[in-house]
Chain A
Amino acid sequence: MALARVEAVTYGYPGAPPALEDVSLELEAGEVVALLGASGSGKSTLLRVLSGLVPHFHGGRFAGRAVVAGLDTRRTRPADLAGTVASVFQDPEDQIVMTVVANEIAFGLENLGVAPGEIWSRVELALEAVDAIHLWGRRTAELSGGELQRVSLASALALEPRLLLLDEPTSQLDPDAAALFLDAVERLGTTVVLSEQRVGRALELATRVLFLEGGRLRLDAPRAEALAWLACERPAYTSACVGTTQAPFVPCNGAGGVGARVGTTQALLVRLADISFAFRPALPVLEGAGLEVRRGEVVVLSGPNGSGKTTLARIAAGLLEPEAGSVERGGTATYLAQDAGRYLVRETVLDEVALGVGGDRFRGRAALDRVGLAWAAARHPRDLSSGERERLALAAVAVSEPDLLILDEPTRGLDPPRKAELAAWLAAYAAAGHGVLVVTHDADFPADRRVVLGAAEASLAL
């Protein structure tokens, strides 16, 4: 008997068109299922159907039936499904309840009514399973994104669920931390549904692959069969898969691919030399870091979590002043912050974009058109999906066509085709005589140069 069964489910959030249409599938015990699809294709919604959060928490119109471990999710509240099903959401900061790690993991066990004598031992086992026992007494507010992700996974594992739902759980992690996280998932032995945009490792782990498109299930197949289908039907996914280990990213199309046009004589846009910065006196973030970007080039700034990439990018954008070192600028710069979709400030999508050009709606509409959001001009920015918000934020910083465009983790949560589109667009933007600095964990993002920041110092790789 299947552990979970979804029968002809069609679901729409309140006031919105269906996010899922006629989806049917079965999950067997012990399977690791990779759930793929573009942003907004319904992956998160399908996970919420399996956890009962849809329709109980979100409301909306639900047709069909979902049964998990014999419990009909329409008749069983999500809180009552907890323990049978456990979820890890995309943004770990938004799911942390308690202030200390051990208490955070104990929170779910207490809710389930686990005997008090068992609670701390299960907390310990869960932390050991994700290789995070050293975090036991740490305050959750002081943890990095990677550590929080592991704590979230431990919180889910502690419940000993029969079905574990992971919604882009590595989106905030650098490649090493993401690999560690997914290794921990591989060791679990429970049924896992893993929604991921870093498809390479997800496809390696999976025994079966689901592919959603426009709310419909386009593919439900074992891994080998799925890889063949993806290679044929959705090649960006298999290119990204191979690319995670060896091959370069899909080459950019359009005006002058990356790597084809950079000359050292191009005008300088920003040069940072011997930069030092500390938010607290005893805790330097940057020491002797350097970076330069010239017109016509795309520069990638990478390095592990906590290495100071964002700080250096903010200094390059003029949002922070370094404590030591020199800054030389040769043009205007705008900066797209990490998690930019969270920081939208106007009442309509069009006003949001036009803000950067003194309210010029004509230029605002053109910028929206470039990112495929012209249809949403009159909507409130917070009514958009997370992927659409990220594109809106990109339009908002690019609308003024700055000399230097600085983007902090712009590929986070982007599906492979969108990532390739972004890379092509940035290459064309640079080719038009601008400069681009991309802060990213994505080792395959196409660039003319890569600057790698270490834990305490910067190294320049030309």
Chain B
Amino acid sequence: MSPGPAAALLAAAGAAALLADRLAAVAAIALVLLAVCLRAPSGHRSVYLFGALSAALGVLVLSPFLWSSPEGTVLWEGPTLPVLGPLDVTTAELHAAALSALRLAALGLAFAAYALLLDHDRLVAAAGLARRSALAVALATRLTPSLERDAVGLADAVRGRGVPLAGARGYATLLSPLVAGSLERAATLAEAMEARGFGRGRATRAPRPPWSRRDRLALPLAAALVLAGALWL
């Protein structure tokens, strides 16, 4: 499938997950997106899947304590804390937490599928007037594996000097050099792009294969998915 229609389908799946109210429907969307992500090579997908699923798990665990609902059955009654209020957990809070977690997982997985499986070059080429913005998004997407590689390199550089690196605090010290390294990389890339004529004006496009029947069908399907999410799911 061409990347444009595929991106539209992924965006529609994410939007449907946000609009849908039924737990089962959002879970189904998240599962389908997970299955799509599993088609990517295992070495590449792990960081994206970890990011999406761990964020969702965090929401599932924390939100019943941070959001209070008078509805439902009280499953656990905890102390009342300043600012946060009563720390009880009800079935309604659990339901809401699960829904939020699944929505977040679906969004994360839709992005993961976009990052892992789509041909970003063709998306950039198909972006028409917004080519620069599309290129910026594509380059930002590519930043994830670069950041992962740099993080490993930084950790190795420190451990390689015989300095132990453990715990969240130890790794947190690497955040600043990681950001600095990314900015440096971005500046070098910008220089290379300018040297290759980027921003000169009157750019052309290399011819791309035309859309197939499946590509053309994907657009109404994406619209239907959003509509279904808003009205029925």
Interface flags, A219-263, vs B, CB<8A=1, else 0? 000000000000000000000000000000000000000000000
Q: Which residues of A, 307-355, contact B by the 8 Å Cβ criterion? A: 314, 317, 319, 332-337, 339-340, 342-345, 355
Say if the beta carbon of B210 comes within 8 Å of chain A: no
Binds B, one of A12-20, A76-84, A209-217, A445-453: A76-84
Instruction: Say whether A83 contacts B197, CB under 8 Å.
Output: yes
Binds A, one of B75-83, B93-101, B184-192: B184-192
Q: Which residues of A, 98-126, contact B by the 8 Å Cβ criterion? A: 98-100, 103, 106-117, 119-120, 123
Binds B, one of A66-74, A89-97, A291-299: A89-97
Instruction: Say whether A356 contacts B161, CB under 8 Å.
Output: yes
Instruction: Say whether A355 contacts B161, CB under 8 Å.
Output: yes
Say if the beta carbon of B70 comes within 8 Å of chain A: no
* Min CB–CB distance B193 → chain A (angstroms): 6
Say if the beta carbon of B196 comes within 8 Å of chain A: yes
Instruction: Say whether B197 contacts A82, CB under 8 Å.
Output: yes
Say if the beta carbon of B51 comes within 8 Å of chain A: no
Binds A, one of B15-23, B24-32, B138-146, B216-224: B138-146
Interface flags, B150-191, vs A, CB<8A=1, else 0? 100110111111110000000001100100110011001111
Instruction: Say whether B196 contacts A103, CB under 8 Å.
Output: no
Say if the beta carbon of B119 comes within 8 Å of chain A: yes
Say if the beta carbon of B62 comes within 8 Å of chain A: no
Instruction: Say whether B200 contacts A82, CB under 8 Å.
Output: yes
* Min CB–CB distance A71 → chain B (angstroms): 13
Say if the beta carbon of B194 comes within 8 Å of chain A: yes
Instruction: Say whether A95 contacts B158, CB under 8 Å.
Output: no
Which residues does chain A contribute within 8 Å of B42, judged by CB atoms?
A: 280
Instruction: Say whether B192 contacts A113, CB under 8 Å.
Output: no
User: How far apart sit A280 and B42, CA to CA, in the bound complex (Å)?
Assistant: 9
Which residues does chain B contribute within 8 Å of A99, judged by CB atoms?
A: 119-121, 138, 142
* Min CB–CB distance A199 → chain B (angstroms): 25
Say if the beta carbon of B128 comes within 8 Å of chain A: no
- With A120-B206, A402-B162 already in contact, the answer to whether A80 and B200 are too (CB < 8 A) is yes
Instruction: Say whether B177 contacts A344, CB under 8 Å.
Output: yes
Partner of A112, one of B135, B154, B157, B200: B200
Report, as a range, how many residues of chain B touch the other chain: 35 or more
Instruction: Say whether B161 contacts A396, CB under 8 Å.
Output: yes
Which residues does chain B contribute within 8 Å of A86, judged by CB atoms?
A: 195-196
* Min CB–CB distance A284 → chain B (angstroms): 14
Which residues does chain A contribute within 8 Å of B154, judged by CB atoms?
A: 343, 345
Report, as a range, how many residues of chain A touch the other chain: 35 or more
Instruction: Say whether A355 contacts B205, CB under 8 Å.
Output: no
Minimum CB distance partner of B153 in chain A: A343
Instruction: Say whether B205 contacts A89, CB under 8 Å.
Output: no
Instruction: Say whether A342 contacts B121, CB under 8 Å.
Output: no
User: How far apart sit A117 and B204, CA to CA, in the bound complex (Å)?
Assistant: 10
User: How far apart sit A344 and B174, CA to CA, in the bound complex (Å)?
Assistant: 9
Say if the beta carbon of A45 comes within 8 Å of chain B: no
Which residues does chain B contribute within 8 Å of A382, judged by CB atoms?
A: 180, 184
User: How far apart sit A111 and B163, CA to CA, in the bound complex (Å)?
Assistant: 47
Partner of A98, one of B121, B150, B184, B190: B121
Say if the beta carbon of A39 comes within 8 Å of chain B: no
Which residues does chain B contribute within 8 Å of A110, judged by CB atoms?
A: 203-206
Partner of A79, one of B122, B142, B200, B206: B200
- With A97-B139, A345-B173 already in contact, the answer to whether A319 and B203 are too (CB < 8 A) is no
Instruction: Say whether B204 contacts A115, CB under 8 Å.
Output: yes
User: How far apart sit A319 and B153, CA to CA, in the bound complex (Å)?
Assistant: 11
Give the interface centre of A83, A110, A279 by most chain B CB atoms within 10 Å: A110
Say if the beta carbon of B198 comes within 8 Å of chain A: yes
- With A53-B195, A342-B181 already in contact, the answer to whether A397 and B160 are too (CB < 8 A) is yes
Minimum CB distance partner of A52 in chain B: B195
User: How far apart sit A246 and B11, CA to CA, in the bound complex (Å)?
Assistant: 61
Instruction: Say whether A79 contacts B194, CB under 8 Å.
Output: yes
- With A94-B189, A120-B206, A382-B184 already in contact, the answer to whether A53 and B194 are too (CB < 8 A) is yes
Instruction: Say whether B188 contacts A94, CB under 8 Å.
Output: yes
Instruction: Say whether B199 contacts A79, CB under 8 Å.
Output: yes
User: How far apart sit A280 and B35, CA to CA, in the bound complex (Å)?
Assistant: 21
User: How far apart sit A180 and B174, CA to CA, in the bound complex (Å)?
Assistant: 38
User: How far apart sit A335 and B159, CA to CA, in the bound complex (Å)?
Assistant: 8
* Min CB–CB distance B79 → chain A (angstroms): 41
Minimum CB distance partner of B193 in chain A: A97
* A-B residue pairs in contact (CB < 8 Å), sample of 30: A51-B195, A57-B191, A77-B200, A79-B200, A89-B191, A94-B185, A94-B192, A95-B189, A97-B189, A98-B120, A100-B119, A100-B121, A103-B206, A110-B203, A111-B197, A111-B200, A113-B203, A116-B205, A119-B206, A120-B207, A141-B142, A280-B42, A333-B162, A334-B162, A339-B153, A340-B157, A342-B150, A345-B154, A345-B158, A382-B184
The 8 A-B residue pairs with the shortest CB-CB distance, nearest first, are: A82-B197, A111-B197, A335-B160, A95-B192, A343-B157, A103-B121, A356-B161, A108-B196
B interface, CB within 8 angstroms of A: 42-43, 119-122, 124-125, 135, 138-139, 142, 145, 150, 153-154, 156-163, 173-174, 177, 180-181, 184-185, 188-200, 202-207
Given contacts A89-B188, A159-B196, 9 further A-B contacts (CB under 8 A): A53-B194, A77-B194, A87-B195, A97-B192, A107-B198, A113-B202, A119-B204, A337-B160, A402-B162
